[in-house]
Amino acid sequence: MATLKYGGYVGHIGTYRVKGNGTNQRSSPFIKSNNVVRQLSAGTLFRNGQTTDAGQLVNGSRRWYGSTNGGLWLHSSVVTKVSAVPYRPTFRKQGDGSRYQWSNCNPASHAMAADRHRRGVDPRNHHGWKPTPVEIRNRLIAVYGDRNGTSLPQNDVAVQHLYLVNMDVRYNIPWSSFRSMIISGRGAVVPIWYGVLPAKYDASPGFNGGHAVYVNERRSSDGAFLVYDPMADGRRRGIPKGPMWWPATLLAKAAYAYPGTNSGCIHASLTKDTE
């Protein structure tokens, strides 16, 4: 837990790199003659545990980055953020030749979510690793019977049994809350309506139904989401292959369009916060 000081809040968290030699690190977000703790050299890494927008105005900004205990501060203009990439799971395609391959979007998406949840670490039980769509499907058949359709909670039960992964299934969460969940370090399986996708993102031309995708992260520069569509296997020309950055507006539109969701809300099954 951060000890918030000087109007600090938990935001812009991450690792930052000092730009220049002789950068003063201070005990408070103000320029004073008696609060320099040390001088840092270019390239020094600083872990930001809190941010204040109420420090001394420097170069047009009052933003300072502070340590978790609020005892060390650097002005935002003297550092650059080191990009933090969350764990990226192995892409799993649903078209794997198995019996239910073209109805297997949910198990395939949950295979990727389970991989993210565990950050690729094998639970070392008697099931396979890494997670596969067919192993999850076989578990679903064993528990719920031989049928095409699968639900988020059913897949949650299956990945708990197979990989010790406990997903958080939530319904009709506001889009802004979903965005916070992704930004703060969770992955998610999201039901979407496939018919709204433009050709560039369409991995099954002519299909216009419910589908599940796995969402791994959000890019801060443009707000796009890294989406793993299990149908995007590049099986022929014109079919996208592997994870793609989807504009936030597109993912929201597709998730809103899934039948049964309230206006402005989506369903999602969230991994734990892995970051």
Instruction: Catalog residues that contact other proteins under the rule CB under 8 A.
Output: 9-11, 94-95, 101-103, 105-106, 148-151, 153, 168-174, 176-177, 179-181, 183-186, 191, 194, 204-207, 209-212, 231, 235, 258-260, 267, 270, 273
- Minimum distance, C-beta of residue 239 to other proteins, in the bound complex (Å): 10
- Minimum distance, C-beta of residue 14 to other proteins, in the bound complex (Å): 12
Helix (H) / strand (E) element for 248: namely helix 248-256
Please report how the helices 152-163 and 133-144 are oriented relative to each other, as an axis angle in degrees rounded to 10: 110
Tokens 């058949």 locate to 141
Residue whose C-alpha is closest to residue 75's, from 92, 101, 55: 55
Whichever of 117 and 267 has its CB closer to other proteins, that residue is: 267
- Minimum distance, C-beta of residue 210 to other proteins, in the bound complex (Å): 5
- Minimum distance, C-beta of residue 194 to other proteins, in the bound complex (Å): 7
Whichever of 37 and 196 has its CB closer to other proteins, that residue is: 196
Burial class (CB in 10 A: 0-12, 13-18, 19+), 164: middle
- Minimum distance, C-beta of residue 272 to other proteins, in the bound complex (Å): 10
Whichever of 34 and 176 has its CB closer to other proteins, that residue is: 176
Whichever of 130 and 272 has its CB closer to other proteins, that residue is: 272
Whichever of 36 and 85 has its CB closer to other proteins, that residue is: 85
Q: Is the dihedral of CA 203, 207, 212, 217 positive or negative?
A: positive
Whichever of 8 and 131 has its CB closer to other proteins, that residue is: 8
- Minimum distance, C-beta of residue 21 to other proteins, in the bound complex (Å): 33
Whether the Cβ atoms of residue 190 and residue 112 lie closer than 8 Å to each other: no
- Minimum distance, C-beta of residue 214 to other proteins, in the bound complex (Å): 13
Q: Is the dihedral of CA 250, 252, 257, 258 positive or negative?
A: positive
Burial class (CB in 10 A: 0-12, 13-18, 19+), 176: exposed
> Which residues are registered as beta bridge partners of 193?
210
Q: How far apart are CA 71 and CA 123, in angstroms?
A: 39
| 76 CB neighbour count, 10 Å cutoff | 22
Whichever of 42 and 171 has its CB closer to other proteins, that residue is: 171
